[in-house]
């Protein structure tokens, strides 16, 4: 089908999209779920730049207006900065739905102006909209039946970002599951660092008396438990060495910020102009399991220790064969604008 504006060629298949959804749902603790439907959808957006005149500060940036729903998106401009191939036709291999443009090109600038003003709390006449361009974004739209409800997850067919997966609630783990998960994490250095950070934080609460006084473990006995766990962990790595982790993401050495005596480490973003910043790095994936898997990682920018809206998604595209210890390495680029902070860092999670 010929479109009235450009779109991106697909880089994902429905199978890869379903694999990404599976990992997103599994990460919330749900092992059993049903996929009620999946289809390819082309959603129209108006991508634009905006400038805000608000006293001494005059922030600017890029955003996109969903021409079908009228919602703003800060994800679509990320796609525009990627070296993705464009076309005017929908994919030939799959049956596709093209969503209607409820907002016309003549209405786009005024609608974008009103949406941006409402989002940042400015007056409408303080917002200037320019460089408006229409584009269609292809998504594999997946409906998932889980947690006694149905959730819509849009996996963009270019980068594989699972938009809407955050709405799926986390499943409360039982004692046996929590114990098994903890033991599994103890098998990897990354897992031990995660557990160690949580344990030290709880220990600090217990020692300072700020912990849960109703919890029978919120006393000095916790320190003994911590010591036993740490000693067991050290013995594990000293004797067995511990297997390598399945997924690891890190920024390129160019962006590494060395820790000082009074200053923690982190990353040094690279300015690419117009208040835009970027971090480049790599993710390596292995698959020690007994079944082939599509691997996916979501890298999130932390500003002063808090997660931000800036993220990147990287995936292996093709399933990694079972029992693969040779890493499959993929590059990622994370960029952002209008995020304030003094110290920046990255965190990554499996999708």
DSSP 289: S
Higher-pLDDT residue of 279 and 177 is: 279
Query: Taking residues 312-339, what's their average pLDDT?
Result: 83
The answer to whether the beta carbons of residues 70 and 103 sit under 8 Å apart is: yes
Q: Domain coordinates of the chain in residue numbers?
A: 2-167, 189-239, 247-350
Highest mean pLDDT (candidates 53-62, 195-204, 287-296): 287-296
The model carries a pTM of 0.58
H or E element at residue 296: strand 296-303
Q: For the domain made up of 247-350, give the CATH fold.
A: Immunoglobulin-like (2.60.40)
Nearest-angstrom CA–CA distance, 142 and 161: 13
pLDDT of residue 316: 78
Question: How confident is the model at residue 239, as a pLDDT?
Answer: 38
Rounded to 10°, the helix 189-208/221-239 angle is 160
3-state secondary structure at position 313:
strand
pLDDT at residue 175 above 70? no
Average pLDDT over residues 170-192: 60
Write out the E strands in 148-287.
Answer: 149-156, 162-163, 247-251, 256-257, 266-267, 270-273, 276-287
Q: How far from the centroid of its chain's Cα atoms is residue 273's Cα? A: 24
Helix (H) or strand (E) holding 145, with range, is strand 127-146
User: Any idea what the Cα angle at residue 249 is, between residues 245 and 254, rounded to 5°?
Assistant: 135
Answer with the residue of higher pLDDT: 294 or 327: 327
Instruction: Identify whether the C-beta of residue 170 lies closer than 8 Å to the C-beta of residue 32.
Output: no
pLDDT at 317 over 50: yes
Between residues 206 and 321, which one has the greater pLDDT?
A: 321
Q: Is the pLDDT of residue 134 over 70?
A: yes
Residues 6+ apart with CB under 8 A from 199: 226, 229, 230
């Amino acid at each position: 089908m010929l479109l009235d504006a450009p779109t991106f060629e697909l880089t994902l298949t429905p199978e890869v999209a379903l694999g990404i959804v599976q990992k997103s749902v599994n990460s919330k603790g749900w092992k059993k779920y049903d996929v009620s439907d999946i289809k390819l959808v082309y959603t129209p957006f108006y991508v634009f730049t905006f400038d805000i005149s608000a006293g001494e500060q005059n922030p600017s940036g890029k955003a996109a207006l969903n021409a079908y729903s009228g919602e703003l998106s800060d994800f679509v401009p990320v796609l525009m900065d990627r070296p993705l191939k464009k076309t005017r036709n929908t994919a030939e291999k799959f049956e596709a739905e093209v969503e209607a443009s409820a907002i016309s090109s003549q209405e786009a600038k005024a609608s974008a102006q009103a949406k941006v003003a409402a989002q940042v709390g400015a007056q409408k006449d303080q917002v200037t909209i320019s460089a408006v361009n229409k584009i269609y974004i292809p998504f594999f739209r997946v409906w998932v039946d889980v947690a006694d409800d149905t959730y819509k997850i849009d996996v963009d067919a270019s980068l594989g970002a699972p938009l809407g997966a955050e709405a799926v609630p986390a499943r409360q783990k039982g004692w046996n599951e929590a114990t098994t998960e903890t033991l599994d994490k103890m098998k990897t250095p990354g897992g031990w660092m995660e557990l160690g950070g949580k344990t030290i934080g709880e220990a600090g609460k217990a020692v300072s008396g700020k912990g849960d006084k109703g919890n029978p473990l919120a006393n000095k006995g916790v320190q003994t438990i911590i010591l036993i766990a740490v000693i067991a962990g050290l013995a594990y790595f000293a004797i067995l060495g511990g297997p390598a982790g399945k997924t690891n993401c890190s920024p390129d050495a160019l962006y590494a910020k060395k820790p000082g005596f009074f200053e923690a480490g982190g990353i040094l973003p690279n300015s690419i102009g117009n208040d835009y910043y970027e971090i480049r790095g790599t993710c390596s994936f292995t698959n020690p399991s007994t079944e082939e898997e599509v691997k996916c990682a979501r890298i999130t920018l932390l500003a002063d220790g808090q997660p931000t809206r800036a993220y990147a998604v990287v995936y292996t595209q093709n399933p990694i064969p079972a029992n693969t210890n040779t890493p499959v390495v993929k590059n990622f680029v994370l960029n952002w604008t209008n995020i304030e902070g003094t110290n920046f860092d990255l965190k990554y999670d499996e999708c």
